[in-house]
Amino acid sequence: MNLVLMLDVGKEYKKLGLKDNEFLKIQKCLGRKPNYLELSIYSVMWSEHCSYKSSRALLKNFKTTGKYVLQGPGENAGILDIGDNQAIVFKMESHNHPSAVEPYQGAATGIGGIIRDIFAMGARPICSLNSLRFGKLYGDEHQKYLFEMVVKGIGDYGNCMGIPTVGGEVYFDETYKGNCLVNAMSVGLAQKDKLIKSMAFGIGNYLVLIGSSTGRDGIHGATFASDELNEESEARRPSVQVGDPFMEKVVLEVCLELLDKKMILGLQDMGAAGITSSSVEMASKGNVGLDIDVAMVPLREASMVPYEIMISESQERMLALVDPSRLFEVKAICDKWNINCESIGTVTDNSMYRIFKGEELLGEIPVKTLTDEAPIYYHKFEKPKYLETVVSFSLVENDYNSLRSKYSHNEIFKKMISSPNICSKKWVWEQYDHMVQTNTALLPGHDSAVIRIKDTKKAIAFSCDGNGRYCYLDPYKGAIIAVAETARNLACCGAVPMGLTDCLNYGSPEKPGIFWQFKNSIDGIIKACEELDIPVISGNVSFYNESFGKAIYPTPVIGTAGLIKDVKNMLGVDFKDSGDIIILIGKKSVGSGNETDGIGGSEFLELFFDKVAGKCPDIDLFYEKALHSLCIDLIKNGLIKSAHDVSAGGIAVTLAESCLLGKTGAKINIDVKEKDLLKALYNENQSRIVISASRENLEAIKSKCEESRVAYEEIGTTSGETLNINNEITISVNEIIGLYDNAIEKIMSK
C-alpha cells in the first residue's frame, strides 16, 4: 500500500461529510484506518445521494410489480412492457443543489445524466419532461436569473441531443427561494430482446470507459448534494459538472451501436461519484471484485491525483463490460466516432475493490462494504408543531365578502389566470424543441404529453405532478393526490396508467419534523399505488433541500406513464365545436358533508390572502379510480370530445383553459348561491373532470356515469367567443389568451 496516501484521516473524514460512527464503521470494515483515497471512496458511496441511507428502509415498501413491469427499482431506470416486443424505459432524478449554485450547467447536466440512465438500459431516448420549483419572480432578479438559466440549460442540452422536451410543470413559491428544485425525467424506447443491465460478471472481463476525458469538475458532487445550502455553497461552485451535449450525442450513438452489434455485456452510466459509484455498483450487483487502474483513465488535466480521478463527476462517460476478445472491435467503433475507449478495470473473483496505478496498489476495499453494508438510518420523527395552527385556518364568509368588496368577479378571475402558478408555461416550452423526432402527438398545454410510437397505432402518455403546499399541510394526503392527479391527467387523454417514477424532495431527514413529512409521504404513495394499481418502477430521493436552516415544502414529484392502444382515441383538453354540452363528472362543484372546502392549500388562498394554510383537500381513491375508468371508457367509445381535470385554480381555470385551447367560448351555469360562487369556482377539491360532448351523446354519457356510480352535472354549453360563468364573469376568449399566455413573459421582461 502506498504510504504517501496515508494521511491523518482522523482530521479529514468530517470534511468529507462522514459522521463519527461512520468513520468507526469504516475502520471496522477494513480492519484498519483507511487512507485518503479509500476514505474518499467511502464518503461518496456512503453519502445520502448514493447510498439512500435515510430512505432505503421506507422505500422497500413500495409496490414495484405489476402487469406491465419488466424492471423495477435497482437498475439505471425502470422498464415497462408496451407489447409487440417493445418497452419503454424511464426515470426521474433531481439536480437541485448544482442548479441552485450554477443554474445553467446544473440543469443541463441533470438532463444529460438522466438521458444516460436511459440508453444505459439499451433504449433510445424519445422524450424528456421536467418539474421545476423557484421562489416568486416578482421583483426578485436572482429568481428570474435562476429560472431563465435553468430553462436555458434544459433547452440547450435537450435541443442539441435531438430529444424533445414535451411536458412537465413549473411552480413558484417563496419556500424554494434559497433552494430551487430541478427534477428531470427522461423516457426511452427499446426492443425487449435488446435490453441490457449493468451487472458485472465473467472473471477477466474488462471494464471499458467510453466517452469524455476526466477532469476536476464535479469532484465531491455527491457529497455536495447531501448537504444543506449556506453561505459557503457559492464557493463550492467547482462541484458542479460541466456538460457537453454534442459529446453525449456521440456517446449515445456509440453505445447503441455496440449494443445492436452485441459487443458489450453490460452498461452503466457514470453519474454521482463518477468511476467509483458506477464500477462499485456493477461489481456489487454481480457479486464480483474489480481491479481499477487509474493510470488508464484518459485525463483532461495531467496533474490529477488518484482520488480526484476516482470521484470526478465529469460528464458524458459510460462504463461498458466487454469480453477481452471483443475489445479490439469495440475500440474500432469508438475510433470511428472519435471518442475515448480505454480498458480501465478487470473483473476478479476476490470480492475486493482494488485501485491501482500501474502495478502500485493504492487502495483495497471489500465491495459489499460500499453498498450492502452502508449505514441505514431510521431517524426519529414527530409531527411538526406548525401544523397545530396552520391546518386549523379556514376562510369565513366575511373573508369572501371583503374580497368581493375590493374586486369584481371578472377581476378575480383575471388575476387567477395570470398567476405564474396557473398561467401558460409557454415562455418555458417554446425554448424547448418539443417536436423533434416528429412523434409528439399532443402539444404542451394539455393534461398529459403524448408520444406516438412510429409504425404502430400505439402512443404513450406522460404526466408529472406534485403539490408542495398540499404536502406541507398533510404529507400523506398530498402524496396521494400527486399520484392520483398524474393518473387522472392520463385518463383525460385516454391512457391507462402503467407505472410511475418519483423524485422525492425534502429537507434534512435528521430533523424529526422533516422525517415525519417524508415517512407520511411515502405511506401516501404506497396507499395510492396500491389502490390505483400503479407500481413504482424507478425514482430518486433528494434530501437536505434547505437553505440557511429553512427547508422547502415536502415536494414528492410523480411522473406516470400510460398506454394508449390506438392513438386515434387520444383526447385533448380543448373544447371542439360550438353547441356542445359541458359536463362535470366526479365530485360536485362545492364540497358537502364532512368534506374539506377545497380552499386549503389552494392558489386562490395564497394569491388573495397570502396564506398557505387550511386542510388539504380530501380524496377517495376508490371513487378516483372509478372516475379514471369512466373517462377512459367515454373516450374509447367516442362519446366525448374533450376532457380536462380540475386541479390547481379550480373549475374556473379548467374552463378557461379548455376555452382558450379550443378558441371557443362557453356559457356556464354552476348551481350554487352567489355568496358561495367564489368557493365553487376556485376550490381545488379532487376527483373532478370537465368533459364536452355532442348533445346527442348526453343520455349515453349519463348511463355510463350511473353504471360507474360517478356523479355528473351538466354545467353549460360551448358557444360564441366569450366565457360567461353565472353571468358574473364575462370575458372574451381572446382576452383570456392574452392574459394566460403572456403573464410570465411580462414578468421576465421587466
How many of the other CB atoms lie within 10 Å of CB of 162?
13
Residues 599-615: tens digit of each pLDDT: 999 999 999 999 999 99
Look at residue 695 and tell me whether its pLDDT is greater than 60.
Answer: yes
Q: In this predicted structure, what is the pLDDT of residue 12?
A: 84
**CATH (domain of 660):** 3.90.650.10
Residues 271-313: tens digit of each pLDDT: 888 999 999 999 999 999 999 999 999 999 989 999 999 999 9
Indicate whether 616 belongs to any domain: yes
Block residue for cell numbers 406491465: 68
- Concatenate the DSSP letters of all residues of 302-313 into one string: TT--HHHHHH--
Give bridge partners of residue 170 from the DSSP assignment.
132
Look at residue 457 and tell me whether its pLDDT is greater than 60.
Answer: yes
Residue 95 catalytic? yes
| Edge-to-edge strands, sheet with 360-366 | 266-269, 317-322, 206-211, 340-348, 289-293, 352-357, 360-366
Model confidence at 234, in pLDDT bands (50, 70, 90)?
low
Q: In this predicted structure, what is the pLDDT of residue 6?
A: 45
Q: In this predicted structure, what is the pLDDT of residue 596?
A: 76
The x, y and z cell numbers of residue 556, run together, are 414528492
Beta-strand relationship, 352-357 and 317-322: unpaired
CB 646 within 8 A of CB 488: no
Indicate whether 686 belongs to any domain: yes
Indicate whether 637 belongs to any domain: yes
Q: What is the mean pLDDT of residues 578-590?
A: 88
Number of domain units in the chain: 1
Q: In this predicted structure, what is the pLDDT of residue 220?
A: 63
Indicate whether 644 belongs to any domain: yes
Model confidence at 7, in pLDDT bands (50, 70, 90)?
very low
More confident residue, 17 or 291: 291
| CA dist., res. 102 & res. 123, Å (int) | 30
| CA dist., res. 294 & res. 497, Å (int) | 45
Q: In this predicted structure, what is the pLDDT of residue 239?
A: 57
| Mean of all residue pLDDT scores within the chain | 93
Q: Choose the catalytic residue: 49, 97, 434, 644.
A: 49
Q: Which domain holds residue 716?
A: 571-750
Q: Choose the catalytic residue: 95, 97, 446, 628.
A: 95
Indicate whether 55 belongs to any domain: no
The x, y and z cell numbers of residue 1, run together, are 500500500
Look at residue 22 and tell me whether its pLDDT is greater than 70.
Answer: yes
Q: How far apart are the first and last CA of the chain?
A: 61
Indicate whether 599 belongs to any domain: yes
Look at residue 473 and tell me whether its pLDDT is greater than 50.
Answer: yes
Residue 644 catalytic? no
CB 354 within 8 A of CB 363: yes
Look at residue 45 and tell me whether its pLDDT is greater than 50.
Answer: yes
Element spanning 577, H or E = none
Look at residue 2 and tell me whether its pLDDT is greater than 50.
Answer: no
Lowest mean pLDDT segment, chosen from 131-145, 220-234, 339-353: 220-234
Indicate whether 185 belongs to any domain: no
% of the chain at pLDDT higher than 70: 95
Look at residue 225 and tell me whether its pLDDT is greater than 60.
Answer: no
Q: In this predicted structure, what is the pLDDT of residue 629?
A: 97
Look at residue 187 and tell me whether its pLDDT is greater than 70.
Answer: yes
Indicate whether 612 belongs to any domain: yes
Q: In this predicted structure, what is the pLDDT of residue 96?
A: 94
